[in-house]
Amino acid sequence: MLDIGFDTVFLDDDNNAMVILDQTQLPGKTQYLSLKTKEEIWNAIYKLQVRGAPAIGIAAAFGIYISVKGSSAGTYDSFYEEFAEVKKYLSSSRPTAVNLFWALDRMDDCVKRHKDRSVSEIKQALLKESNKILEEDIKVCRKIGENGLSLLKPGMGLLTHCNAGTLATGKYGTALSPIYLGQEKGYRFKVYADETRPLLQGARLTTWELNQAGVDVTLICDNMASIVMKNGWIHAVVVGCDRVAANGDTANKIGTSGVAVLAKRYGIPFYVLGPTSTIDMQAKTGRDIRIEQRPGEEIYKEWYSKPMAPEGIKTYNPAFDVTDAEDITAIVTEKGIAYPPYTESLCQFF
């Protein structure tokens, strides 16, 4: 496998810290942040310094461990009360990505499984569990890449939206994983990356990491997806996911649903790639997925030296949209590939 050359999130246990690559500084600066408090960890997740559903899950696991590692609680009950408070706090950072809650619940289960142990032993169990979540994510992403690559052919033109690569996961990514595997095998994909407004994850992050790996990548504005499809340059669309409902409706970065509609118009397969931990069988349809609303200033102030719209203008800034299941060709996971009808095929993974 290609050497990615950087880590997104990892634990520095000796210094009681979680370390993240600050994605808000890319591509101009490669800066790592050492986070030691629950407030710092919450801010890093909310402010998108660490982002991407799997990476958020990993950060949540390391984050809750770091937050309770220094607890002076002497009994299980007092320790769990403190743990539950931190869990509730961290879970409020981002409402849409299911991996955040999945990882926190998994750490919660770990505490409860060890309730008959000493507090010190519970902390060691949490350390082991958080490292396991990272290790599993790396293996899962590689398997997603292998399954995704089976749908693609050498020389294809691929369109991707937002960032679903190493920066969004423990390593390799979800939607970008087959691109990395293809690069290793000499597939010579030509990748087109949507800029992904308003936070420019495609421009700042996807192009940065693919360029680092030597992948042929071309940056386009979001409103150029149609013309590159019409030109015949796109043979498949590959995107990640933040939450998949039981019927296959998929929440992903804002703008994804529009790309899916265009792909269907031009007869281009639209593939969603993500771990089974992103599938929420409790959400029957996309209507059950809560969509995060972010500050309007991100639209017209974030990347400009002066506002690019009238001060105080009304804004609407949802972080995600939902792609209807009928517009998705297949959902690729580490356990296999699901095809419509998703109400039946997704069940096989559970």
* Residues 6 or more apart in contact with residue 156 via CB below 8 angstroms: 187, 189, 190, 235, 236
Q: Which of 77, 70, 71, 74 is nearest to 111 (CA)?
A: 77
The residue type found at 144 is: I
CA distance 107 to 105: 5
CA distance 229 to 241: 22
Kindly report the backbone phi and psi dihedral angles of residue 14, in degrees, each rounded to the nearest multiple of 5, phi listed first: -60, -30
Residue 334 contacts residue 147 (beta carbons within 8 Å): yes
CA dihedral 52, 53, 54, 57 (to 10 degrees): 110
**Tokens 């970065």 found at:** 253
Residue 233 contacts residue 192 (beta carbons within 8 Å): yes
Q: Which of 155, 134, 154, 166 is nearest to 3 (CA)?
A: 166
Tokens (6 digits) for 156:
């294809």
Residue 18 contacts residue 62 (beta carbons within 8 Å): yes
CA distance 324 to 115: 43
Q: Which of 285, 274, 284 is nearest to 336 (CA)?
A: 274
CA distance 243 to 6: 26
Catalytic residues: 242
**Tokens 């089976």 found at:** 150
- Per-residue DSSP letter, 134: H
